[in-house]
Amino acid sequence: MTEPKMISFKDGATGWLVFSNPRRLNAVSYEMWQAIPECIADFVGDPDIRVIVLRGEGDKAFVSGADISQFEKKRGSKAAIADYDQATHRANAAILACSKPTVAMIQGYCIGGGLGVALCCDLRFAARSARFAIPAARLGLGYKYDGVKRLVDVVGPAYAREIFYTARQFDADEAMAMGLINRTFEVAELAKAVGEVCERIGKNAPLTMRAAKLAIEAAVIDSGAKDRSAVEAAVNACFASEDYIEGRRAFVEKRAPQFKGV
C-alpha cells in the first residue's frame, strides 16, 4: 500500500496540495500534518503562484479527519498528545497565515479535522455529493477554542452548536444553507469550476488580494486583539506598487492588466 503523504505540485499560477491517504479516505497522519507548513511555505515563496488549492486524492473524500489508527501510538500519553496537537496546530496555522488565497476543493467526506482544514481556507467549493461532520462528541475528543471559533465565525453559534452537539453528517445542501461552503457543483463539474475560479484569481493583483485578506481577517478576530497597522501597510503597498500603475493603464487602454505582484 502507498504510504500516506502530502503531494504538492504547481500548474501555472496555481499550487496544488493533495491529501493522499486513500486507503483511509485521506485521513491525515502525523507525518502529513508535519509536511503541510513546508508545502505552504514553498507556494508562498514562489511569486508565480497566485492561489493554492487543497484537495483529497480521488473522489471519495477531501479529508476524513485525523488518522485515528495512529492515536494509540501518537496520542497515547500526555506528552504525545501535546506533540501531536502542536503538529496539527502548525499545519492549520500555516494555512491560515498563508498570504495567498486558498481554496478547499471538497469531494466526498469532509469530516472532523478535515472540516477544520477546510475552515482554514479562504474559499470552499464542494461537490453535491460531499458530506460534512465534526464527530468529536462520538469519540470523546475535546476541540480547542481556535477551531471552534473558526466554525462559529463561518456558520454562527446556532449552527455550530448543532454541528457539535449532534455529531451527525450534513449534506452539501445543508452546508450551503449554513454558509459553511461557498458554492456546490455536480461532481463532474467541480474540477472545471475550481480551475476557472483559480484562473480568475490568478489574473488579479496579488497585493490587492493580500491587503483584502488581511482586512477581512482583522474584521473577524476578537475585537481586543485587532491590529490594523498591518492592514494599513498592505493597502499603502498597493497604491505604491507598479501593479497599481498597470491597472490604471490597462483600464484606460481597455485591455487585460498584467500584474506582477510588485
- Say what the pLDDT of residue 74 is: 64
- Say what the pLDDT of residue 227 is: 66
Contact 37, 91 (CB under 8 A): yes
How does pLDDT run across 211-240, given as a tens digit for each residue?
Answer: 999 999 888 876 555 667 877 887 788 778
Q: pTM surpassing 0.85?
A: yes
Per DSSP, the three-state class of 89 is helix
- Going by C-beta distance under 8 Å and a sequence separation of 6 or more, which residues neighbour residue 83? 74
The matching CATH number, chosen from 3.40.50.880, 3.40.50.10310, 3.40.50.2300, 3.90.226.10, for 5-201 is 3.90.226.10
Which residue, among 33, 19, 180, has the nearest Cα to 93 in the 3D structure? 33
How does pLDDT run across 136-191, given as a tens digit for each residue?
Answer: 888 777 788 888 999 999 999 999 999 999 999 999 999 999 999 999 999 999 99
How does pLDDT run across 107-135, given as a tens digit for each residue?
Answer: 999 999 999 999 999 999 999 999 999 99
Kindly state the cell numbers that stand for 188. Answer: 463532474
- Say what the pLDDT of residue 225 is: 56
